[in-house]
Amino acid sequence: MKMQHVYFDLDNTLWDHRRNAYLTIKDLFEKQEITSKYNIDFEEFHNVYHDINEDLWEKIRDGLIGKEYLREHRFYDSFMHFGVDDKELALYFEEHFLDNIVSHNELVDGAEDILDYLKAKNYTLHIISNGFQEVTERKCTLSGIAPYFKTITSADAIGVRKPNPRIFEYSLGLSDAKKEESIMIGDDWIADAMGGRDFGMDSIFFDVYKEGKQGTGLKAITHLQQIKEYL
C-alpha cells in the first residue's frame, strides 16, 4: 500500500524545544537576578534542570507520574539541587515558562524545507505530541507550521501518551488513515520509533542528538533532510 500519511512528533523533531526552553529559562533567570541573589551559574542550573525535566517526562511517558507532578517539581527540584528551597520562586518559573516559551519559536534545522518537500509530494501531514494540548497548538501556530498539518493530536486529548497504542489509533482515526499507509517520525526512541513500530506503523527515529541507535532494524536519521531518502 502506498504511503500517504506522515505523522511527526513536535518537540525536538520540528519545534526546537531544547533551544527555545533554554532561551526562556535564561530570560527568567536574568529577570529574577538568580545569579546575584543565590550565586548560581545559569549554565549549571540549566544542565541540572534539563536532566530533571527529561527524567520527569520519561516518567510521564511511562505512566508513573502525571503532568501536575512534573509542573510542581521540575523547577522546585532544580532549585533544591542548589540549596534553594523556595516553592514560590519555583512556581513563578513554572507559570512564566509555559507562558513565555512560545515567545521563542526556533525550528529544528531543515524543518520547513522538509515540510515543503512532503507537501509538494502530496503527503498528508499530522502531529502526534506528548505535550500539553494548548501549548502544542500555540507552538504550531506561532512558529508558522500549523497550516502544514491536517490534524494535531496531543496526549491531553485522549489521556494517554506515546507509546500507548491508543494515541496512535486516535490520531489515525481523525483522518481515516490506515496503519499500512502511515509513517511516524520522532526523536524519542521509545515513544516515537518503538511506539509507532509496535502499533503497526512504519517509523523513522530522528536521532537528533546522535545517540547512536543506528543499525537496530528501524530507519534512523540524524538530519531532517534524510527523510527524503525514504519518502
Cα angle, residue 58 at apex, residues 186 and 78 outer, rounded to 5°: 120
The pLDDT of residue 102 is above 80:
yes
Q: What is the pLDDT of residue 213?
A: 63
Strand runs labelled E in 37-191: 124-129, 149-154, 182-186
| CA separation for the pair 73, 144 (Å, rounded) | 31
Q: What is the pLDDT of residue 216?
A: 63
pLDDT tens column, 108-155: 999 999 999 999 999 999 999 998 888 899 999 999 999 999 999 999
Amino acid at residue number 193: A
Amino acid at residue number 78: S
| CA separation for the pair 168, 164 (Å, rounded) | 8
In the chain, where are the structural domains located? Answer: 5-16+107-229, 17-101
Mean of the per-residue pLDDT values for the chain? Answer: 94
Q: What is the pLDDT of residue 168?
A: 97
Q: Which residues contact 105 (CB under 8 A, 6 or more apart)?
A: 15, 20, 139, 142, 143, 144
| CA separation for the pair 3, 181 (Å, rounded) | 4
| Residue 54, SS3 per DSSP | helix
Q: Which CATH architecture has domain 5-16+107-229?
A: 3-Layer(aba) Sandwich (3.40)
| CA separation for the pair 164, 134 (Å, rounded) | 21
**Measured between alpha carbons, how far is residue 44 from residues 8, 40, 47, 122 in Å?**
32, 7, 5, 45
CATH of the structural domain 17-101, one choice from 1.10.3720.10, 3.30.1300.10, 2.120.10.30, 1.10.150.240? 1.10.150.240
